């Protein structure tokens, strides 16, 4: 019995000693955690009677403003495009009405079209204002039914583009040159009487929307003089690398 009491007494003594040793450490850790809870690692005095209410409000307001500014700066940096090259893939519609070599019109005014583009992008940033130039090579391919046959639309274009925008949104304008072939077959040697081929200047305008540093959405209107300046409308996804 005495032996059991001695063991219990010794255990209680050890527990109290440990509590005495670790109590200052726990108190200090709690204070550090509480101090670090305020934004920007700036400590607000815990005793309300050490500063006035106006001073305390000024500290809170200053911390809040700095915290918001850090968020704004972080968001601005997230849309800083550093990649120099890009690839675009998209779908759209080509509007046309062409005369063939036999003076017959191709009975297709709207042709569903896919587009693939690759190019170079040089960006300049001035705060939240972004501007730059793009050099883009684009290939377009469209297919549409026309009577008992199918209209095949193909074009290769090279564009020089200038853009200026704010934040995520980058409207642009550019000019280029297009080589186009349209007929009722993929091969230029087939159905030669019902083909239209040519090359001429073209123009492009649109809006780019940045998702992040490496991707974005692009909506464009492409005007080919060979098509009577009817617009080609495209919505594309852009990947930068």
Whole-number Å distance between alpha carbons of 158 and 178: 7
pLDDT averaged over 10-residue windows placed end to end, the chain, 241 residues: 54 52 53 51 52 63 61 50 85 76 56 94 85 94 78 91 92 94 63 70 94 90 83 93 87
Contact 180, 135 (CB under 8 A): no
For residue 101, the model assigns a pLDDT of: 47
Amino acid 78: pLDDT: 45
Q: How many CB atoms lie within 10 A of CB 207?
A: 15
pLDDT score recorded for residue 143: 87
CA-CA distance, 7 to 207, in Å (whole number)?
A: 81
- DSSP SS3 for 186: coil
List CB contacts of 205: < 8 A, sequence separation 6 or more.
171, 172, 173, 174, 220, 221
Residue pair 164/170 in contact by the 8 Å Cβ criterion:
yes
CATH topology assigned to domain 82-240: Porin (2.40.160)
Residue 24, classified by CB atoms within 10 Å of its CB into exposed (0-12), middle (13-18) or buried (19+), is exposed
Token pair recorded at residue 56: 């305390």
Question: Which phi and psi (to 5°) does residue 58 adopt?
Answer: -65, -40
What pLDDT is attached to residue 19? 52
Name, in order, each residue with C-beta under 8 angstroms of 207's C-beta and a sequence gap of 6 or more. Answer: 169, 170, 171, 172, 218, 219
Domain spans of the chain, in order of start = 2-77, 82-240
Count of positions (residues) in the chain = 241
Q: How far apart are CA 195 and CA 184, in angstroms?
A: 7
């Amino acid at each position: 019995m005495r032996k059991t009491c001695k063991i219990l007494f010794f255990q209680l003594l050890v527990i109290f000693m440990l509590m005495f040793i670790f109590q200052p450490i726990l108190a200090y850790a709690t204070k550090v955690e509480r101090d670090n809870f305020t934004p920007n690692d700036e400590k607000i005095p815990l005793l309300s009677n050490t500063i006035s209410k106006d001073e305390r409000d000024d500290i809170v307001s200053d911390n809040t403003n700095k915290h918001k500014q850090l968020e704004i700066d972080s968001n601005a940096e997230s849309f800083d495009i550093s990649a120099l090259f890009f690839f675009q893939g998209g779908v759209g519609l080509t509007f046309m009405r062409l005369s063939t070599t036999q003076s017959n019109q191709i009975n297709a005014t709207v042709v569903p079209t896919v587009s693939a583009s690759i190019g170079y992008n040089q960006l300049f940033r001035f705060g939240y204002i972004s501007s730059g130039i793009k050099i883009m090579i684009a290939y377009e391919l469209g297919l549409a039914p026309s009577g008992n046959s199918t209209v095949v639309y193909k074009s290769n274009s090279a564009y020089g583009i200038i853009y200026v925008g704010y934040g995520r949104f980058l409207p642009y304008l550019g000019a280029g040159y297009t080589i186009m072939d349209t007929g009722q077959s993929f091969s230029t040697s087939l159905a030669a009487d019902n083909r239209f081929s040519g090359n001429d200047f073209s123009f492009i305008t649109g809006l780019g929307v940045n998702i992040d540093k490496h991707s974005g959405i692009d909506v464009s209107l492409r005007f080919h003089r060979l098509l009577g300046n009817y617009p080609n409308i495209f919505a594309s996804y852009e990947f930068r690398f």
